[in-house]
Amino acid sequence: MQATHQTTEPRRPSAVAPPLHAVPGAGAPPPRGRIAALDAARALGVLAMVFGHTLDALLATAVRATPGVELYWKARGFTAPLFLMVSGWAVTVAISRGRARGLAIPRGRIGRVLLLLGIGYALRWPGWGVERLAAGDVEVWAHFLSFDALHTIAVALLAASLVLALPWSRREHTWAIGALALLCVALGMLAPAPIVPGIPQLSRSIAALVVEQATGGTSPFPLFPWAAYFFVGALVGLLAGTGGGRSAAGMALVGAVLVAGTIGTGVGEMPMGHPLLFTFRCGAVLLVLAALSTVPAAWAARVAPIGRASLGVYAIHVPVVYGWSTFTGLTGRIGPHLGLGHALLVATAVLLGSFAVHLAFQRVRSGLGAAAGAVWERVGLRLEGGGRGGTETEGE
């Protein structure tokens, strides 16, 4: 789930805003090929996300209490940080490789930002409470406006794009992104403003409730501290680039130091916004990314399509597992009653089915785009030919 849109405007030479990969002292431009570690990390994030959600919805209580599953449940806490950090890394690499500079950077990604927000709010549509929504029920509005991972990625993407649009050096961009990460962690330590369900009517503006939910409230993934993971991933993109060689060793070293310094502090019992928990999770994800840097490029290329389909798979599998509007998902149809083997089979089916639907949608969209382009071209030719008497068009 990251922006990969590239602008097509010609490169403008500028001494003020050089390309990110051409900043003095930054080394040679990165190769234009795929980044194996990034492809592998994105695919791993999709697998962890789908399997985690499905097992959460279907595993029986007795199975969850087994030692192996308990260990897995602890590891599940790294899924969202991995997803967000990989998104930040991918966005930074895409911007550094693109030709857009200045305000063209955020302009080129505003469509992606709006798409992420649109899908995020659509997935939270309370079809079961439309009447209460129309009546201004705070509880229903709070559910609808809650921030999930897509919302947080969208806002963090916009913020990172604005920073990278500034005519600064790579070092200055790095400091600015790092400052955003620290700010998100600091604000994440504050207690979120409570949503009062006892108030039946919306007594404050919707805009205020949006801000309240974006920064805390009852949101599962509020901006603070979750956007900080995205910005740490952006730092990886700025500092490590392609993630090979010394960069992978650097990620491993930093990750090991962060994990070693926090693992004995009781991070497993800390609240979501605690800086030590954030540090521990970042270190663990850095170790994972460093390990994935050893994956052969050929293997990473095979799983790359799964990673590139992350947004589509996310948007498809969430309603299937948890339901949407008035549609009952697996959590309502089956519930937490399955053994580990059956739950894993269902999770595999959800992953493959979501990926297949995504591919089918992409083919349909490509076909419609090609058909529309052909029609537009033909209409254009007819109009052009009609202006000259129609002779050339009629002969084609």
What are the tens digits of pLDDT across the range 335-377? 999 999 999 999 999 999 999 999 999 999 888 877 777 776 7
Closest CA to 167 of 18, 308, 278: 18
For the chain, the domains span: 20-395
Cβ neighbours of residue 195 under 8 Å, at least 6 residues apart?
138, 139, 142, 212, 213, 217, 218
Rounded-to-integer distance, Cα 172 and Cα 179, Å: 11
Closest CA to 152 of 174, 128, 180: 180
Instruction: Please give the angle made by the CA atoms of 354, 359 and 362, to the nearest 5 degrees.
Output: 125
Contact indicator for 6, 99 with CB cutoff of 8 Å: yes
Q: Which residue has the higher pLDDT, 245 or 117?
A: 117
Q: Which residue has the higher pLDDT, 349 or 207?
A: 349
Structure tokens at 340: 């580990």
* Per-residue confidence (pLDDT) for residue 268, from 0 to 100: 82
> In the predicted model, is pLDDT for residue 324 greater than 80?
yes
Rounded-to-integer distance, Cα 178 and Cα 181, Å: 5
* Per-residue confidence (pLDDT) for residue 19, from 0 to 100: 38
Instruction: Say what the alpha-carbon torsion angle 55, 60, 66, 70 is, to the nearest 10 degrees.
Output: 40
pTM: 0.85
Closest CA to 313 of 349, 358, 361: 358
On average, the pLDDT of the chain sits at 86
* Per-residue confidence (pLDDT) for residue 197, from 0 to 100: 54
Instruction: Please give the angle made by the CA atoms of 95, 98 and 104, to the nearest 5 degrees.
Output: 75
Q: What three-state secondary structure class fits 327? A: strand
Rounded-to-integer distance, Cα 105 and Cα 150, Å: 20
What are the tens digits of pLDDT across the range 257-270? 999 999 989 888 89
Rounded-to-integer distance, Cα 16 and Cα 19, Å: 10
271-278 long-range contacts, Cβ below 8 Å, gap at least 24?
272/188, 272/225, 273/185, 273/188, 273/189, 273/190, 273/224, 273/225, 274/189, 275/185, 275/189, 278/185, 278/188, 278/225, 278/228, 278/229
Which backbone phi and psi does 284 adopt, to 5 degrees?
-65, -40
> In the predicted model, is pLDDT for residue 13 greater than 80?
no
Q: What three-state secondary structure class fits 130? A: helix
Contact indicator for 177, 122 with CB cutoff of 8 Å: no
Confidence of residue 251 (pLDDT cuts 50, 70, 90): very high
Angle between helices 79-97 and 223-239 (to 10 degrees): 50
Rounded-to-integer distance, Cα 109 and Cα 234, Å: 15
Rounded-to-integer distance, Cα 229 and Cα 251, Å: 15
Q: Specify the range with the lowest mean pLDDT, choosing from 27-41, 152-166, 178-192.
A: 27-41
* Per-residue confidence (pLDDT) for residue 374, from 0 to 100: 77
Q: Specify the range with the lowest mean pLDDT, choosing from 18-22, 56-60, 103-107.
A: 18-22
* Per-residue confidence (pLDDT) for residue 3, from 0 to 100: 42
Residue in the structure block whose two tokens are 């990620």: 251
In a 10 Å sphere around its CB, with 0-12 CB exposed, 13-18 middle and 19+ buried, how is residue 272 labelled? middle
Q: Specify the range with the lowest mean pLDDT, choosing from 103-117, 203-217, 274-288.
A: 203-217
Q: What percent of the chain has pLDDT over 70?
A: 83
Residue in the structure block whose two tokens are 């019992």: 269
* Per-residue confidence (pLDDT) for residue 93, from 0 to 100: 92
Structure tokens at 84: 């967000």
